[in-house]
Amino acid sequence: MSLVDGLRSPRTPLRRFLDRELSAGASQLRHNYRAQHRTDRILLPPPGVGTEAGTVGTAIDQRLRLAFTAAAPVDDAALAGIELTGRFGGHGEGLRMRAVGNELAMRLTETVKRLDLDNRALPIDRAQDEEEVLARMLIAAAWYQILARTSIGFAFTPLAEAALEDPGTFTFTRLLDLPHHDLVTDVVAQLHKAAHGPLEALRARTLPEDCTGGPTFAGARITADADLAVDGLLLDFKSTRHPLKEMSQRTAWQLAGYLLLDATDTYRIDIVGLYLTRTGVLASWPVEDFLALLGACRRDLTELRGVFAELPAATARPTSRTSQPRRRPSASNNCFSAWCRSPGPAAAQSASSPCPTLPGPASSAPTDAAGAPRSSSAAGCCLAARAHCSPHHANSASTSPTTRKSSASQPVSPGRRRAR
């Protein structure tokens, strides 16, 4: 179970532990955070960003990591997503996406090394044209990351749409043309803001070997990757357009989770912090103050880490309402069933059958008896499903037009009207 998944439900062992041990909640930490966030200048995203705000956030996070250390030019999640695309589709689309993704990883690595991004003798940012090309590659890598996290979301990325529409013309050049200009502009603008603020000062007083981009926690039952560990400072980047609302309980618990997952003290964390990429504010707390603001008074950090490490990596604890297994929805109620793209061997599959599962994260990919990953049959889902998968369509799929018409034409008695 990932840290993010464990925080979603209040019934998971992870969430129940944090709610119990951090008894003060996030209110005191939020008040302190807002006292540190003293700026009214917010870099708002351009209109073209739209629903791609998360993609921009992923791209700027990786760009800022590379300014501190270029040891891993391509994020692990992006590499996993590139590999998973090989099982996407049935007419060669997946193989084409994987080939282009591998070329992206190679070009991105070459660019990062050539620009010498973690050289402290140079500023954080480079020339405008160089940064724009780099931003396009990071945005494309962010799209590949989505497949490592949610396969359904990946089917609606510009990357997947372009490859599924015409695999023959999908090339590295075509991939770099896909990001909207506003996405590129937004990434570069946030980088320029970092070049004239506290993040630049932090970078100047550290060395690349003292930094770890995307730190993970080996041996932990709960998986997580923070944004940056810098000489004892654990830092998380946030690209929200509403910075004063950022210190929610979920954000506070996420920072606490990173701190507690480092049970072996690999990163020697003595300060935790947030960097707001749209305001250029760095808010941080010594570990003792951070835990005190959250109300951790029953145990010290070492004991908290010890208990946290023993938490079962399980999903939410079942209750009386969820103890019964959920019934699988019928094919008539499955919106994707009628719009599922079933290439290759699955082409004979009837339209009423459930939509096949898209390839998921590498850790959950199905394997055969020998442990090798099995290819997913009919992994590509028809993009036209977006227009037909609204809740109204799904709920009305099992009701015939005749039934709907007859029920709508029946007069409603005054008693029934009052009951409503």
Give the count of beta carbons closer than 10 Å to the beta carbon of residue 253: 21
Judged against a pLDDT cut of 70, whether residue 120 lies above it is answered with yes
- Helix residue spans in 116-179 (DSSP H): 128-149, 151-154, 158-165, 172-177
State mean pLDDT over 353-373: 42
Instruction: Report the C-alpha gap between 33 and 29 in whole angstroms.
Output: 6
pLDDT band at 39 (very low <50, low <70, confident <90, very high): confident
Instruction: Report the C-alpha gap between 253 and 16 in whole angstroms.
Output: 11
Judged against a pLDDT cut of 70, whether residue 413 lies above it is answered with no
- Contact, 359 vs 97, CB < 8 A? no
Question: How is residue 205 annotated by DSSP?
Answer: T
Question: How is residue 384 annotated by DSSP?
Answer: G
State mean pLDDT over 10-30: 94
Nearest CA among 231, 267, 236, 229 for reference residue 251: 236
Dihedral of the alpha carbons of 38, 39, 43, 47, in degrees to the nearest 10 = 100
- Contact, 270 vs 232, CB < 8 A? yes
- Contact, 111 vs 74, CB < 8 A? no
Task: Report which of residues 259 and 312 the model is more confident about.
Answer: 259
pLDDT for residue 100? 97
Q: What are phi and psi of 212, to 5 degrees?
A: -130, 115
Instruction: Report the C-alpha gap between 279 and 234 in whole angstroms.
Output: 19
Which of 68-72, 195-199, 405-409 bottoms out in mean pLDDT, i.e. has the lowest?
405-409
Which of 170-174, 182-186, 261-265 bottoms out in mean pLDDT, i.e. has the lowest?
261-265
Residues β-bridged to residue 236: 274
Judged against a pLDDT cut of 70, whether residue 370 lies above it is answered with no
Judged against a pLDDT cut of 80, whether residue 288 lies above it is answered with yes
pLDDT band at 314 (very low <50, low <70, confident <90, very high): low
Judged against a pLDDT cut of 70, whether residue 90 lies above it is answered with yes
Nearest CA among 39, 14, 26, 13 for reference residue 247: 26
pLDDT for residue 311? 87
Domain boundaries, given as residue ranges, for the chain: 1-42+225-315, 45-194+336-345+357-363+375-387
Instruction: Report the C-alpha gap between 276 and 259 in whole angstroms.
Output: 19
Q: What are phi and psi of 223, to 5 degrees?
A: -90, 145
Give the mean pLDDT of the chain: 80
Task: Report which of residues 416 and 261 the model is more confident about.
Answer: 261
Residues β-bridged to residue 237: 275
CB environment 331-370: b (16+ within 10 A), e (fewer): beebbbbbbbbbbeebeebeeeeebbebbbbbeebeeeee
Both tokens of 270, joined, read: 């003595």
Judged against a pLDDT cut of 70, whether residue 420 lies above it is answered with no
Return the HEC string of 80-121. Answer: HHHHHHHHCCCCCHHHHHHHHHHHHHHHHHHHHHHHCCCCCC
